[in-house]
Chain A
Amino acid sequence: MNTGRFVKRLRDELPIWQERGWVTEDNGRAIIEYLEAQQGESRHLPTAIAIFGVLLLGAGVITWFAANWTGIGKLVKLMILLGSLYSTYAIAAFLLRENRYTRTGEAVLLLGIILFGANIMLIAQIYHIDAHFPNGILLWALGGLVTAWLMKSAPAMVATLALGCLWTGSETIGFGRVHWWYLLLWVAILPAVYRWQWRRTFVFALVTLALWSVFTFPAVDADFGTGARLFLMQVYFLAYLAIFIIGLLMDNWSPAERFARAVQGLGIIGTLTCGYALTSPNLQSGSFGYYEAAHRQPADDQWILLNLVATAVAVLLSGWHYLRTRHTETSKWFEYGRLVLAAALVVMIVSLFVDGVHGGPLAIVMNVLFFAGVVWLVYAGMQMGNRLLVNLGFVYFAVTLLTRYFDTFWTLFNRSLFFMVGGLLLIVGGYWLERQRRRITSGIIADRRDAS
């Protein structure tokens, strides 16, 4: 925990605790003094210094090899490479033995993973191995995975995920194809994350999953040609919605409760981003400029099937969530959200069967539903005491409003008038939205305070 932020929060809370008689004034002062004294000894500092040191050392080792490499014989090169790898892991084992220097040991483990990557690259150079280059990154990631599993190291698992992301990015962007294999690597980290309750690693894993979906989008789009973009965006919307509902279900399932907020966060950000994209008149009409057909065509069988399957999954998950939460007090506000969601699903199914001429009206309907959904999200965030949902609701409301202003008035208004009205809208609207956001989020904090 960030001690500074904790002390600040505690300063706000202590007067209430004192008022209720839980803590005396002297005790409160003593607690604050104790925590402030600890602030100067932050445990994050040595870790950060150790990790930066490792990164610098790793970079230095690689550049030194690069500068002097050609003058060294093959056998000596191999001895240097393997020797440095072995000695680094030996040092890590020494530091981590009996948990004596855990943080420094973790940093040295990271150096071991970096050196394993350097070994792969340099052995490939020594023996002129010029294979499919993402395979080298995969091998590197697998080395990291083995290290993370066997040493129970969260930083090593984060490094593995970063390498996996690099691997899938190279395959997808470099070779323009959908790369499903990344999901296998991603699933391989989950048992470790769950077993050792690595919440931050899980958040990072979710970020890499989102990046994978971003990499994958243009590859699928290119494979299926014009018109695929809209239907693919709908599938993405439904997939992220399913992830969000899974996050809500995890809230009521104790083994996964610790990870629920992170899943909800990824799900809702993805759902809102895709929903925002679906409000675009360009996407709905299939017109993106000179290189694409002016109007999209109705979806072919594979897109209809894929969209219907994704819709069915989202509906089933939503139904399951309803069954689990119908007796709770907070279930009533879900009704409104379900109504908006059902309408959006119907519009998306209709969208599969119409051509680009109907893109404009569909975009208007999607905009109305999106704004209704965002308002619901703010309400849902208030009910659940979830500030992330409230903040996201306000951000997407403002962004969508601004986008529609640009779409609508760019050609209608005189340019000077356009900017003046736009500026006014930003100042007044931004002020009003921020005031509302602050009012609601402080209400959530106050509720939490009362509940405690």
Chain B
Amino acid sequence: MIGRVVLILVLQTIALGAMVGMKQWTLSTGRPVLLETEPVDPRSLFRGDYVRLNYAISQIDVELVEGDDEFERHGDIFVVLEQGDKYWEPRSIHRQYPAVDEDLVVIRGEVIGTGGPTFDPETSELLPGSSVLVGYGIENYFVPEGEGRALEQPDAGQIDIEIAVDRAGNAAIRSLIIDGDVRYVESLL
């Protein structure tokens, strides 16, 4: 009996440890990438406050980047990022992991939706052309209770996100930066 319970606990602990380990692997081995973002909708009913992050690379105009044109909903997408003036920007999109130069980064995502015109957040206008909506698994960032709503306010300041992208294209949020000040930094403990 004791042996079986210990085995259950070992297996369940390994599963939980693997969740943390995979994330830490990405954070410790991944290349740093700074992304432009805009926080929206900061509340989880069950898990407290969080910042819902909408990145500039979350919606990509297929006609403005190189690579593949057609993607399947909920399928994999690999976005090649290049360093811009301040932020990293999409250069090409692919259905398979592409071979790239060392100065570029490949981030893996899931196609949330395809088609439809591009939305310009600055002018609130719809731009012509087809786009692809991408989720990278870095769209939610949990913050102390009450701070999520504050971050959503227009006067919260410029919010940037530094992520780490590992060799397989997996991404993890490394830090949340407000007006150039690093506010939340990820650590193991």
Residues of A in contact with B (beta carbons under 8 Å apart): 62, 66, 69-71, 74-75, 78, 82, 85-86, 89-90, 92-93, 96-97, 112, 116, 119-132, 139, 142-143, 146-147, 150-151, 175-177
B156 within 8 A of A: no
A-B contact pairs, 10 of them (CB 8 A): A69-B47, A119-B16, A120-B15, A120-B16, A127-B19, A128-B186, A130-B137, A130-B140, A143-B11, A176-B74
Please give 13 more A-B residue pairs, beta carbons under 8 A apart, in addition to A70-B144, A121-B46. Answer: A69-B47, A69-B145, A74-B189, A93-B2, A112-B8, A123-B20, A127-B24, A129-B137, A130-B138, A142-B15, A143-B12, A146-B11, A151-B5
- In the bound complex, residues from chain B placing their C-beta under 8 Å from that of A92 are 5
Contact indicator B48/A123 (Cβ below 8 Å): no
Bound: A86/B49 CA distance, A: 28
- In the bound complex, residues from chain A placing their C-beta under 8 Å from that of B2 are 93
B87 within 8 A of A: no
- In the bound complex, residues from chain A placing their C-beta under 8 Å from that of B186 are 127-128
B57 within 8 A of A: no
- In the bound complex, residues from chain A placing their C-beta under 8 Å from that of B74 are 175-177
Residue ID in chain A nearest B138 by CB atoms: A130
Contact indicator B15/A128 (Cβ below 8 Å): no
Contact indicator B15/A139 (Cβ below 8 Å): yes
Bound: A92/B141 CA distance, A: 36
Contact indicator A151/B4 (Cβ below 8 Å): yes
Contact indicator A123/B187 (Cβ below 8 Å): no
- In the bound complex, residues from chain A placing their C-beta under 8 Å from that of B19 are 120, 123-124, 127, 129, 139
Nearest CB of B to A48, in Å = 25
- In the bound complex, residues from chain A placing their C-beta under 8 Å from that of B73 are 176
Interface residues of B in 131-174 (CB under 8 A from A): 137-145, 172-173
Bound: A435/B67 CA distance, A: 72
- In the bound complex, residues from chain A placing their C-beta under 8 Å from that of B4 are 150-151
Nearest CB of A to B55, in Å = 13
Contact indicator A129/B142 (Cβ below 8 Å): no
Nearest CB of B to A32, in Å = 40
Contact indicator B138/A143 (Cβ below 8 Å): no
Residue ID in chain B nearest A156 by CB atoms: B8
Contact indicator B47/A125 (Cβ below 8 Å): yes
Interface residues of B in 20-57 (CB under 8 A from A): 20, 23-24, 46-49
| A66 touches which of B7, B12, B23, B46 (Cβ 8 Å) | B46
Contact indicator A150/B15 (Cβ below 8 Å): no
Q: Known contacts A121-B47, A123-B16: does B23 contact A147 (CB below 8 Å)?
A: no
B69 within 8 A of A: no
In the complex, which range does the number of interface residues on chain B fall in?
A: 35 or more
Bound: A120/B16 CA distance, A: 7
- In the bound complex, residues from chain A placing their C-beta under 8 Å from that of B47 are 66, 69, 121-122, 125
Residue ID in chain B nearest A135 by CB atoms: B19
- In the bound complex, residues from chain A placing their C-beta under 8 Å from that of B188 are 74
Residue ID in chain B nearest A77 by CB atoms: B189
| B1 touches which of A69, A71, A93, A176 (Cβ 8 Å) | A93
Contact indicator A131/B15 (Cβ below 8 Å): no
Nearest CB of B to A204, in Å = 22
Q: Known contacts A131-B137, A146-B8: does B48 contact A75 (CB below 8 Å)?
A: no
Q: Known contacts A75-B189, A146-B8: does B15 contact A66 (CB below 8 Å)?
A: no
Bound: A29/B7 CA distance, A: 52
Residue ID in chain A nearest B141 by CB atoms: A128
Bound: A124/B1 CA distance, A: 31
Residue ID in chain A nearest B18 by CB atoms: A139
**A-B interface, 9 closest residue pairs, ranked by CB to CB distance from nearest:** A93-B5, A70-B144, A150-B4, A70-B145, A130-B140, A75-B189, A130-B137, A127-B23, A125-B47
Bound: A85/B11 CA distance, A: 12
Bound: A69/B144 CA distance, A: 9
Contact indicator B138/A89 (Cβ below 8 Å): no
- In the bound complex, residues from chain A placing their C-beta under 8 Å from that of B187 are 74
- In the bound complex, residues from chain B placing their C-beta under 8 Å from that of A176 are 73-74
Bound: A177/B111 CA distance, A: 14
Contact indicator B140/A66 (Cβ below 8 Å): no
B82 within 8 A of A: no
Residue ID in chain B nearest A105 by CB atoms: B1
Bound: A96/B2 CA distance, A: 10
Residue ID in chain B nearest A93 by CB atoms: B5
B65 within 8 A of A: no
Residue ID in chain A nearest B17 by CB atoms: A123
Residue ID in chain A nearest B45 by CB atoms: A66
Nearest CB of B to A443, in Å = 50
B127 within 8 A of A: no
Nearest CB of A to B115, in Å = 15
| B5 touches which of A75, A90, A120, A131 (Cβ 8 Å) | A90
- In the bound complex, residues from chain A placing their C-beta under 8 Å from that of B143 are 70
- In the bound complex, residues from chain B placing their C-beta under 8 Å from that of A85 are 9, 12
Contact indicator B140/A151 (Cβ below 8 Å): no
- In the bound complex, residues from chain A placing their C-beta under 8 Å from that of B49 are 70
- In the bound complex, residues from chain B placing their C-beta under 8 Å from that of A131 are 137
Interface centre among A92, A142, A146 (most CB of B within 10 A): A146
Bound: A176/B113 CA distance, A: 12
B96 within 8 A of A: no
Residue ID in chain A nearest B47 by CB atoms: A125
